[in-house]
Chain A
Amino acid sequence: MRMSECEITDELIKEKIQDVVVFMCNECGQGSANTAGVARIGYDPSIRIIRVQCTGQIGPIQIMDALNNGADAVACVGCCLGACHFFNGNVLSMHRIKLMKKLFKELGYSDQFVNQYTSRAAEGETAVGDFEDIIERLSTAIKDEGTIKDGC
C-alpha cells in the first residue's frame, strides 16, 4: 500500500531492516541472549538489545521513542509465562503490547512493528527464535505495508 511501485525484493527488505530495538529483561531475557552468545548461535546484526529490569517496565513511551528515533521495530522479551522474576511483569507487558498493536492498526500501520516474546535463560535457541521471528514478521509487514518510516 505504502510502498513505491518498484518491485520489492528480499534484498531490499533486508537493507531496509537496520535497527530493531529489543528490550530484554534482566532475568530470563538477557540470560537467554547470553546463552545464545556462548553457544555462538548467529542472528541478524540489526537486533539491538537494551537491558531493562523487567519487560513490565517498558511502556508506550519507550516503544514510541524507539520508533520515533528510527527503529524499524520494537520487541520486548521477558521470562516465560508464570516464571516472571517479579511475578507478572511479562503478562502486564503482554497486555500492553496487545493494546499497542491495536493502536498501530487504528493509526493505519502494521501491527507487527511491536511484539512481545518470552525466552528461557537456559536455552539460547529461544531468544534466537524470537529474534528470527521478529525479523520474519517485520519482513512480511514491510512487504505488505511498507516500513514505518515510509508511512511517516
Chain B
Amino acid sequence: MAAKDNKIKETEEVEGVAIAEDSEEPRIGVFVCHCGHNIAGTVDVAEVAKYAKTLPNVIKAEHYMFMCSKPGVQMVKDSIKELGVNRTVVASCSKNQHGKTFARAIEEVGLNKHRHQQVNVREYDSWVHQKEKEKATQKAMRLVEAGVNRARKLEDVETRRIPTTKAALVIGAGIAGLRSAFDMAELGIPVYLVEKESTIGGHMTRLNKTFPTLECPQCSISPLTNGVANHNLIELYTNAQIKNIEGSLGNFEVEIEIKPRYVKDNCTSCGDCAANCPVELPNEWDMGMSMRNAIYKAYPQAIPATYVRDKKDCIECNTCINVCPVQAVDFSMQPETKTVKVGSIIVAVGYDEYNPAEIEPYHYGQEGYEDVITQLKLERMLSPTSLTNSEVLRPSDGKIPKNVVMIQCVGSRNDQVGNQYCTGVCCKFAIKNARIIKEMYPDTVVSICYIDIRTPGLNFEELYKSAQEIGVRFIRGRPSEIIKDPISGELRVIVEDTLSQTPLKLKADLVVLSAAMVPPEGIGPLGSKLQILRSKEGFLKEFHIKMNPTLSSKGGIFLAGAIQGPKDISETVAHAGNAAALAAAPLVKGYIEREMLIPSIDYDLCVNCGLCKTVCAPAAIDIDENGVPVVNEIACKSCGMCMPVCPTGAIQLINFSDDQLLDEIIAVSGGGAVCE
C-alpha cells in the first residue's frame, strides 16, 4: 500500500512537468512490431516503418521483432530519454493486450500514460488479411498514419485520488439488505440500514418452508436478523424512508425520514398494550391471515421487538399508555429527519407479489371468489404460527379442500399484463407447496396447471420428481378462466390439457395463483431520487448483465437481490454478498482513483440547452443554479454520449474530441477531401 502511495505521488509530480511541456511541438516515435511472423509474415513492416518516418512530427520510426519484450519496451523508453519523444505510437496487437504495457513504460520515464497510442495491426490487419499481403501492408500504413494523427493531439489526463466517506447506506432490510449490511459491517464499515416497515426480515420471514430442502426460513434468517440488530456498526432505522440523496460515488449525503413508532426503546415487549387495545385489524404482514391491534408487533419473533402504534387506525383511547408497566408508549413522538454521509449505497428493496386482480377471468379478490388465493397467502396459512394452526383451510367456509388447483405464470410470461419475463421461482415454490399439501392430506387432489415446468439447478429436478411420485397432477395448459358453478356454487378451472389436447373443467375447492415477482411499489420515486435507470419491466437496471450485475447505472450505488430482477433466496444472498464486497472496496481502501477522462464544456459556445444532461446515463451532468451544465467529474463514465447531441459542439471528451477524431478519420478514409 505504501509503495503504491509513493507511486501515485510520483505521477502527480511528473504530471506537472508534462503539462509544462504541452506547448512544445509534438515529437512522435513510431514502433512497428513484427510479433514473430504474426505481423511481419503478412505486413511488410519495414515498409510501414519507412512510411511512418515520412509523416509530419515523426522523429523516430523503427521496427522490431517483439515490441512487448524487455528490449522492445526499452526502445520506447530510450527514444523518450534520448530523442525527447513526447508521444508514442506502437503498431502491434490490441490495446487490451499490450496497450497497458507501453502506457506503463512511458509513465515510468515520466510521460503521461495517455500520451501513448496503440495501433492494432495484428487482430485488425495481419491476422485477418493473410492472403492479401499488399493490401494488408497498405492498410497497416493507413492505420499507423491514423495513430500518428491521433497521437499528435493527445493530451495529458490526470489521475485524481478522491477520498471516500467510510460508511454505507443499505435501503431495505429483507434478506438481501441484511446480508449486505452484515457483510459490510464485518469489514469494519459503519452501516445505516433503512427499512420501510416496522420489522426487518422481509419476505423470507413470511415463508413456511424454503425449497428445495424444506428448511425453516425463520431459523435460517434469525442469526442474520439478530446479528444485524445487535451489531455495533449497524444503525437500524425502521419505519424509515429515503427523503433525498445528493452527491456521487464515494461521497453521498442522504436524508432519512423516520416515522415515529410511538413506543420508546425501553419497551419490554410484554404485550400488555396489545392485549388491552380495543381495535382489531387484519395483519398486513400475515397477508390478512391473522388479526392485529392498533398497537402491535407484526409477529412474535419480530425484530426490533419494540411494539409500534398504527396512528391511522388508533382511536386514542389511551388504554395502552395507562397499562404499559414501563411507560414506553408516547403519543407525542414526532417524525424526524436524519442526515447521514455515506460512501456507497446498496439498494435492496426487494419485490412485491403481483396483484392478480388485474387478470379479470381469475376473479381474484372479488366477492364470492374468496377461495382464490395467492401462494404467499398459502405460505402464511401453512406456517407454524398461523391462525389456521398450519392447516390448509378454505377462506370461505374453513373446510379442508378436497381439490386444490395451482395456476402457474400469473403475471409472468404474459404479454397481456406486460410481463414477458419468467419469474423463475414460481414453479419451484408451487411444487414445494403442492408436495406439502399432498403430504398433509393424501386424499386431496393437487393439480398444477403450468405452461412449462422450469426447475433448473441442483436438487430442483429431484423436488419436481418427488412431487410427481407423491401424486401431484401436472396439467400442461394455461387456464383461461375460473368460473363458479351456478348450481353448486363450487369453483371450476377451465383449462385445456395441451398434451392430450382435451379441454378440462377442473373441480377446485381452493385455487392458488402463483403470482409473479414485480418491482415493489414506490420504486419509481426512489429510483429518481437515486438517479438510476430502470429496465422496461420496472426493476432497477444493472450496469452490465454479465460482468457487473450488482452495480447500478450510477457509480457507488449497488443493487442487491430481487430489485435487479426476480431471484430466489440463494441467488439473492449471493447477489447481496457481491454487492457488499463491491460497495465496501472503495470504503476500505479509503479513496477512489479516477482518470479524469471527462468531457470539458466550452462555456463560450454552450447555449444552456441541457441536451447533454438528457443523454447522460450516469447522471453526471447537472444544471447548476444559473442554468449552466456542469460535469460531475467523479460520476462521469467517459462514454462521450454527450458529444453528438450538443448543437454547438461545446462539450468535448478529452482525447476523443471531434477534432481529434477527425484527424484519425482523415487518415483512414482515403485521405484528401473529395468535395472541395
A: residues with CB less than 8 A from B are 18-19, 21, 30-31, 33-34, 36-38, 40-43, 45, 48-54, 56-62, 65-72, 82-83, 85-89, 92, 96, 149, 152
B637 interfacial by beta-carbon distance below 8 Å = yes
Query: Which A residue sits closest to B656, measured CB to CB?
Result: A53
A57 & B656 in contact (Cβ 8 Å cutoff): yes
- 10 pairs, CB–CB < 8 Å, chain A vs chain B: A36-B128, A40-B127, A48-B143, A50-B146, A53-B638, A54-B639, A57-B641, A61-B649, A69-B673, A86-B617
B142 & A42 in contact (Cβ 8 Å cutoff): no
Docked complex Cα distance between A50 and B117 (Å): 12
User: For A86, what are the chain B residues with a Cβ–Cβ distance below 8 Å?
Assistant: 617-618, 637, 639, 641
One of A33, A66, A88 near B665 (C-beta < 8 A): A66
Docked complex Cα distance between A42 and B666 (Å): 25
Docked complex Cα distance between A9 and B288 (Å): 78
Query: Which B residue sits closest to A88, measured CB to CB?
Result: B617
B665 & A45 in contact (Cβ 8 Å cutoff): no
One of B127, B661, B674 near A149 (C-beta < 8 A): B674
Q: How far is the CB of A132 from chain B (nearest CB, A)?
A: 12
A33 & B670 in contact (Cβ 8 Å cutoff): no
User: For A56, what are the chain B residues with a Cβ–Cβ distance below 8 Å?
Assistant: 615, 639-641, 644
Query: Which B residue sits closest to A96, measured CB to CB?
Result: B644
B674 & A69 in contact (Cβ 8 Å cutoff): yes
Q: How far is the CB of A116 from chain B (nearest CB, A)?
A: 13
A70 & B124 in contact (Cβ 8 Å cutoff): no
A60 & B669 in contact (Cβ 8 Å cutoff): no
User: For A92, what are the chain B residues with a Cβ–Cβ distance below 8 Å?
Assistant: 615, 641
Interface locus among B129-137, B327-335, B409-417: B129-137
Given A42-B130, A65-B665, A70-B672, are A53 and B639 also a contact pair (CB < 8 Å)? yes
Query: Which A residue sits closest to B119, measured CB to CB?
Result: A51
Query: Which A residue sits closest to B96, measured CB to CB?
Result: A34
User: For B638, what are the chain A residues with a Cβ–Cβ distance below 8 Å?
Assistant: 53
Given A48-B143, A87-B617, are A59 and B643 also a contact pair (CB < 8 Å)? yes
Given A37-B123, A57-B639, A62-B661, are A42 and B129 also a contact pair (CB < 8 Å)? yes
Query: Which B residue sits closest to A67, measured CB to CB?
Result: B669
Give B646-676 as 1s and 0s: 1 = Cβ < 8 Å from A's Cβ atoms: 0001000100101001101110111111110
A34 & B123 in contact (Cβ 8 Å cutoff): yes
Give B125-169 as 1s and 0s: 1 = Cβ < 8 Å from A's Cβ atoms: 101111110011011001100100000000000000000000000
B668 & A50 in contact (Cβ 8 Å cutoff): yes
Given A43-B128, A62-B665, A83-B545, are A70 and B670 also a contact pair (CB < 8 Å)? yes
Query: Which B residue sits closest to A74, measured CB to CB?
Result: B669
A61 & B658 in contact (Cβ 8 Å cutoff): yes
B248 interfacial by beta-carbon distance below 8 Å = no
Given A57-B653, A58-B644, are A87 and B541 also a contact pair (CB < 8 Å)? yes
User: For B644, what are the chain A residues with a Cβ–Cβ distance below 8 Å?
Assistant: 56-62, 96
User: For B675, what are the chain A residues with a Cβ–Cβ distance below 8 Å?
Assistant: 68, 152
User: For A96, what are the chain B residues with a Cβ–Cβ distance below 8 Å?
Assistant: 644
B380 interfacial by beta-carbon distance below 8 Å = no
User: For A45, what are the chain B residues with a Cβ–Cβ distance below 8 Å?
Assistant: 125, 129, 132, 135-136, 138-139
Known A62-B665, A85-B543, A149-B674; further 6 A-B contacts with Cβ < 8 A: A48-B146, A52-B661, A53-B656, A56-B641, A62-B658, A65-B669
Q: Which 8 A-B pairs have the closest CB atoms?
A: A59-B644, A70-B670, A37-B123, A57-B640, A71-B669, A86-B639, A87-B617, A56-B641
Docked complex Cα distance between A37 and B129 (Å): 9
Q: Which B residues from 597 to 653 make CB contacts under 8 A with A?
A: 615, 617-618, 637-641, 643-645, 649, 653
Q: How far is the CB of A21 from chain B (nearest CB, A)?
A: 5
A52 & B673 in contact (Cβ 8 Å cutoff): no
B95 interfacial by beta-carbon distance below 8 Å = yes
Docked complex Cα distance between A151 and B133 (Å): 32
User: For A82, what are the chain B residues with a Cβ–Cβ distance below 8 Å?
Assistant: 545
A38 & B123 in contact (Cβ 8 Å cutoff): yes
User: For B666, what are the chain A residues with a Cβ–Cβ distance below 8 Å?
Assistant: 65, 69
User: For A87, what are the chain B residues with a Cβ–Cβ distance below 8 Å?
Assistant: 533, 541, 553, 617-618
Q: How far is the CB of B48 from chain A (nearest CB, A)?
A: 14
The CB with the most chain B CB atoms within 10 A, among A42, A71, A72, A87, is that of A87
Given A42-B128, A69-B674, A86-B617, are A48 and B640 also a contact pair (CB < 8 Å)? no
Given A50-B661, A82-B545, are A70 and B123 also a contact pair (CB < 8 Å)? no
A52 & B640 in contact (Cβ 8 Å cutoff): yes
User: For B649, what are the chain A residues with a Cβ–Cβ distance below 8 Å?
Assistant: 61
B218 interfacial by beta-carbon distance below 8 Å = no
Docked complex Cα distance between A65 and B665 (Å): 7
The CB with the most chain A CB atoms within 10 A, among B138, B617, B637, is that of B617
Docked complex Cα distance between A82 and B136 (Å): 35
A71 & B122 in contact (Cβ 8 Å cutoff): no
User: For B639, what are the chain A residues with a Cβ–Cβ distance below 8 Å?
Assistant: 53-54, 56-57, 86, 89
Give B331-363 as 1s and 0s: 1 = Cβ < 8 Å from A's Cβ atoms: 000000000000000000000000000000000
Q: How far is the CB of A60 from chain B (nearest CB, A)?
A: 7
B94 interfacial by beta-carbon distance below 8 Å = yes
One of A21, A33, A50, A71 near B123 (C-beta < 8 A): A33
Docked complex Cα distance between A22 and B130 (Å): 20
Docked complex Cα distance between A21 and B649 (Å): 22
Docked complex Cα distance between A53 and B617 (Å): 14
B665 & A50 in contact (Cβ 8 Å cutoff): yes
Docked complex Cα distance between A41 and B129 (Å): 9
A34 & B132 in contact (Cβ 8 Å cutoff): no
